[in-house]
Structure formats: structure tokens, C-alpha cells
């Protein structure tokens, strides 16, 4: 068995209808998940789950299949952990595959395919709000465009930008009319395949 994917999502703190249970199901049958509080700014959004907070969070493991047999026990292991701070709910999922197959539209990371996940990140108001908050926090804490670009790449991708990437990011900031506004660059980083997918 090998781990085929690690996914980390950041979501605005909004209730989801998918977690709602009908009153008829009763409290005894209601599934519950526990989210662990973390200090603001203590997590790196890098696609990894190796920080101590993730290890201490209570995993959700009682999943069932949708296909091919609805409500059957899953054929492969999956764990989801929840962390939160004052502004964000962090969802980390580790999915395993016994046969090594990944059923997802993957391509070269620098190609221009647009899978469903990217469309969600491009259009989701919560992601736009997170990009704005991240931008504002960086502007307040990190002086200078070069240092901000470095910080953004390291925080989002776990690595500094190449010289070419830094130059493109600087030019991109200039196209919006306000080079101090980092929100479009933050949003672009959230939509990179390198941010969304790990191999």
C-alpha cells in the first residue's frame, strides 16, 4: 500500500450542509468530528501534514464508499484531520491506494489543464477571501515586494521562487495597478498545480 495523495485545504469558517444530519437519525447515529485549535500562523500551507499539530489531531476514519457499493466499508484507508485558528478551518486528508492507481486528472504541473479542483479554487469566494487576508497579513509583516514574494512562495509551496518565477511574480504584481496588492498573486499561488497536487 502506498500513499497516493496528501491534500490540505483551507476553508472559511462556514457551516456545510454535507455535515447536517436529520433529526430522525437521532443523536446516537450522528457522526461527529473534532477540530483541534492551533495558534494563528502556526501552520505552513505547503501541502504536507508533517507538523506536530496534524499528528496530534484526532483523525476521522469511519468513511464509507459511494461507488461501487454504496455505504460499504472502503477498500482503501483514508484519514482526515481538522485544525482551526481564529480565521480558518484547515482540512488535511491522507488517502491510500492498495493498487497504486490515482483516479484524478493529473497532468504536468506547468500545463494549462483546468481540473475541477482548480475551478473551485478559482471561483470560490472563500478562497478569494483567504487570498486577501494572506495578502494583508504579509503587507503588515513583511517589508518590500521581493521579500514578500519570497515569503509567499516558501509559505505556499515550501520552496523559494526561482529567479524567473520571482521576476514573473514581480511583473504580475505590477499589472494590477497597485503593486502593494498581493491578493492576485496569493490567489494565483493557491491555483498552481504545485500547491493543489502532490505526487
In sequence order, the β-bridge partners of residue 38 are none
**199 residues of the chain, pLDDT tens digit each:** 444 444 444 444 333 434 444 444 455 667 788 889 999 888 877 777 888 999 999 998 888 887 788 888 888 888 889 988 887 888 888 888 777 776 655 555 545 444 555 555 566 777 788 888 888 888 888 988 889 999 988 888 888 999 999 998 888 887 766 777 888 888 888 777 777 555 4
DSSP assignment of 16-51 equals -GGG---GGGTTTT-----EEE--TT-S--SS---S
Question: Is the pTM here over 0.85, yes or no?
Answer: no
Q: Which helix (H) or strand (E) segment is 97 a member of?
A: strand 88-97
Give me the sign of the Cα torsion angle 191, 161, 94, 105. Answer: positive
Whole-angstrom distance, CA of residue 41 vs CA of residue 91: 15
CB 189 within 8 A of CB 156: yes
DSSP 8-state assignment for residue 73: P
Q: List all residues 6 or more positions away from 21 whose beta carbon is below 8 Å from its beta carbon.
A: 29, 30, 31
Amino acid at each position: 500500500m502506498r500513499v497516493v495523495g496528501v491534500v490540505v485545504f483551507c476553508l472559511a469558517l462556514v457551516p456545510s450542509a454535507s455535515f447536517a444530519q436529520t433529526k430522525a437519525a437521532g443523536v446516537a447515529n450522528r457522526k461527529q468530528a473534532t477540530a483541534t485549535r492551533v495558534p494563528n500562523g502556526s501552520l505552513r500551507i505547503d501541502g504536507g501534514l508533517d507538523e506536530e499539530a496534524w499528528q496530534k489531531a484526532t483523525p476521522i476514519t469511519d468513511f464509507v464508499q459511494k461507488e461501487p457499493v454504496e455505504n460499504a466499508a472502503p477498500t482503501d484507508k483514508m484519514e482526515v484531520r481538522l485544525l482551526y485558528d481564529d480565521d480558518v478551518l484547515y482540512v488535511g486528508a491522507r488517502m491510500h491506494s492498495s493498487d497504486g492507481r490515482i483516479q484524478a486528472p493529473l497532468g504536468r504541473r506547468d500545463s494549462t489543464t483546468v481540473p475541477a479542483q482548480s475551478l473551485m479554487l478559482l471561483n470560490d469566494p472563500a478562497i478569494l477571501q483567504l487570498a486577501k487576508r494572506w495578502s494583508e497579513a504579509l503587507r503588515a509583516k513583511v517589508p518590500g515586494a521581493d521579500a514578500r514574494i519570497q515569503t509567499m512562495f516558501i509559505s505556499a509551496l515550501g520552496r523559494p521562487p526561482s529567479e524567473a518565477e520571482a521576476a514573473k511574480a514581480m511583473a504580475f504584481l505590477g499589472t494590477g495597478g497597485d503593486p502593494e496588492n498581493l491578493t492576485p498573486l496569493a490567489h494565483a499561488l493557491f491555483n498552481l498545480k504545485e500547491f493543489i497536487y502532490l505526487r
